[in-house]
Amino acid sequence: MAKKIAVVCANGCEEIEALTPVDVLRRLGQEVDIVGLSGQEITGSHQIKFKADRLLDASLLDYDMVVLPGGLPGADYLRDSELLGDLLKQRHQAGKWNAAMCAGPKALAKNGLLDDTDYTAYPEIDQEVANQVKEARFHDDQLVIVDQKQKVITSRGPATALAYAYQIAQVLGIETQSLEEGMLYTFLQAHIND
């Protein structure tokens, strides 16, 4: 049975961080919705326009995974949304998975989801996040961090979007090896330093 994943996007999001998980997870046969924070049409931080499949509402509680992209000012809009914050807290209390990358962890931090958590983020926002969390442990030496206890996945930035998308799938119990080979991700991993 397909897993349900919501990628919550605001105007000013980083397009590669929003759309890479959508692309990879749909290729893997999962049910993925682009959820608009405040409107159906989204304009990313590089002026790429795309449409949400649905708007943010309480149905966010029904997803197996919620994914937050970074990008500015999009990540700030996610951080400042009271509705999203309330839903993230409810998801966390229910033991559901949440993921954020780049500047996206700002929304997790503001709402207490990074307290006592191993996480990573874009280098320039780690101090802002650190000021809002209790006993969190920032890691700058890994592409993706999975905190099994807190059910949080975080990643660094645009270049780590594929690794992040595959890790999200793997955490949900989805086999990724065939797609990694088909998309030449394994080739990239083997030759990145050539």
Q: What is the mean pLDDT of each run of 10 residues along the chain (194 residues)?
A: 98 99 99 98 99 99 99 98 99 99 98 96 89 90 98 98 99 99 97 90
**CA dihedral sign, ordered 72, 74, 78, 82:** positive
Catalytic residue of the set 9, 24, 52, 102: 102
| 9 catalytic per annotation | no
State the CATH number of the domain containing residue 22.
Answer: 3.40.50.880
Structural domain for 122, as ranges: 4-191
* CB-based burial label for 76 (10 Å; 0-12, 13-18, 19+): middle
Residue 127: per-residue pLDDT = 85
Total domains present in the chain: 1
Token duo for residue 190 = 């083997």
25-74 confidence digits (pLDDT tens) = 999 999 999 999 999 999 999 999 999 999 999 999 999 999 999 999 99
